[in-house]
Amino acid sequence: MIRRGMSGQVLAVTLAMGVAPLVCLAQSESYELRRASQTVFRSLSQRLRPSLVRIETVGGAQPRIPVPIDDGESEAPLRQREQFFDNVGSDFVVADGPTTGLIYSSDGYIISSGYNFVREPALISVTLADGRRLAADLVARDQVRKIALLKIDAQDLVVPEWADEFDVRVGQWALALGLGFGGSRPSVSLGIVSAKNRMHGNAIQVDARLSPVNYGGPVVDIDGRVIGISVPMAHRPGELAGIEMYDSGVGFVVPKRKVDEIVVPLATGQSFYRGWLGMTIGGQGVDGIFVGLIADPSPLREAGVVSGDLLWAAEGRPIKNFGQLVQTLYMIPAGTLIHLCLEREGEPYEIEVALARNVDLGALPDAPEPFDPSLPLPGIDDE
């Protein structure tokens, strides 16, 4: 109690005596909270450990960005077909070293990041939590969503529990686990879920640090349920696109809904590749982009599209420039039907076409010369 007439000094001392225990109590509670959180995080990594595997590879060439070919016969430096090549998306050097995978099914299917296999390794081995080291086959991989499927000869493996994507909330804890550092215990990177429905609905965004150390490993919630598989992603095509952002605090994980959708065809040996329309840009209009040259064969040519048509929407999104077209299509694999809105001589029309793999596209036709330099200019007589 503070009595009337108490001096300022006495009041200050009295208040200080009352605040000090509160500060100590707050510090004590904060310390206990940190210790409790530490215990939970350590417990979660050990709980998931039976479902984590270490993946080691031998052999394989360093992926390189394709170099266009000069045909040496014309002023055009590139062959027309070289318009379409699958760029790996980065010149990042993929180093040797252990990587991470997650048991998908008890009968030996394992999922990981496609990043771990861009070198096309000759030999793959998987080490289980119980110490067994087994040879693994790379069944197939999705070069668009960056998921790879492996198979080992094993039964009764421990499958983790997955979180329902609809229950995942922005702001909740997210722990990324990996075995890329070596050792028997997983590395742990702590963060939160920072966004959902990213990369055209293919990923959840987290701010936990993701890198080659934990690519292919799980990101889990505070209850130990898997939110998704960590992979490098970016707003551009390429299997290595996004690798430069590692440890940046912007990372992406593929949730179970998408993983299940991808694994079903992968298990049959079907890989996924980037999809192409097979066209060049003929210029930019007010309301869209003009179709330039069209490969033969190609999805657009088979659908009856001709050079000069105006493409103004794809998959329900307006297309104002070439960049918007790339951003709309880059996460859609070859073989997928897409909806396009076009216009020819003022008449709108719509089509559905299946994107093609680059190796299934024919050459582009020769671009018409604006004039024949061997002929005199119009209106000027030969002398």
User: Are 97 and 167 contained in the same domain?
Assistant: yes
User: Are 252 and 287 contained in the same domain?
Assistant: no
Phi, psi angle pair for 15, to nearest 5°: -65, -45
**Amino acid 68: pLDDT:** 47
Residues 227 and 102 sit within 8 Å (Cβ to Cβ): no
**CATH value at residue 330:** 2.30.42.10
User: Are 250 and 294 contained in the same domain?
Assistant: no
**Which amino acid is located at 333 in the chain?**
P
**Amino acid 306: pLDDT:** 96
Which of the listed residues 215, 248, 272 is the one where a domain comes to its end? 272
Mark 256-266 as b/e (b = at least 16 C-beta within 10 Å). Answer: bebbeebbebb
Which of the listed residues 220, 241, 272 is the one where a domain comes to its end? 272
* Chain centroid to CA 334: 16
User: Are 160 and 72 contained in the same domain?
Assistant: yes
Residues 298 and 320 sit within 8 Å (Cβ to Cβ): no
**Amino acid 14: pLDDT:** 43
Whether 8 is covered by a domain: the verdict is no
Alpha-carbon gap, residue 266 to 9, rounded angstroms:
77
**Amino acid 10: pLDDT:** 42
**Amino acid 328: pLDDT:** 92
Residues 173 and 192 sit within 8 Å (Cβ to Cβ): yes
Alpha-carbon gap, residue 145 to 113, rounded angstroms:
9
Whether 321 is covered by a domain: the verdict is yes
| DSSP label of 91 | -
Residues counted in the chain: 383
Phi, psi angle pair for 210, to nearest 5°: -110, 140
Residues 157 and 134 sit within 8 Å (Cβ to Cβ): no
User: Are 238 and 289 contained in the same domain?
Assistant: no
Residues 186 and 294 sit within 8 Å (Cβ to Cβ): no
**pTM attached to this predicted model:** 0.81
Indicate the Cα dihedral angle 67, 72, 78, 80, nearest 10°.
-120
Mean pLDDT per 10-residue section of the chain, whose length is 383 residues: 43 48 59 67 90 89 54 38 68 75 97 89 94 96 95 97 95 94 86 94 95 93 96 84 85 96 96 93 91 94 95 96 90 95 96 94 78 59 50
User: Are 133 and 176 contained in the same domain?
Assistant: yes
> DSSP letters of 154-209?
--S--PPPB--GGG--TTSEEEEEE-TT-SSSPEEEEEEEEEEEETTTTEEEE-S-
Domain that holds residue 352: 279-360
∠ Cα 284 290 293 (to 5°):
125
* Segment holding 53, helix H or strand E: strand 52-58
Whether 34 is covered by a domain: the verdict is no
User: Are 239 and 287 contained in the same domain?
Assistant: no
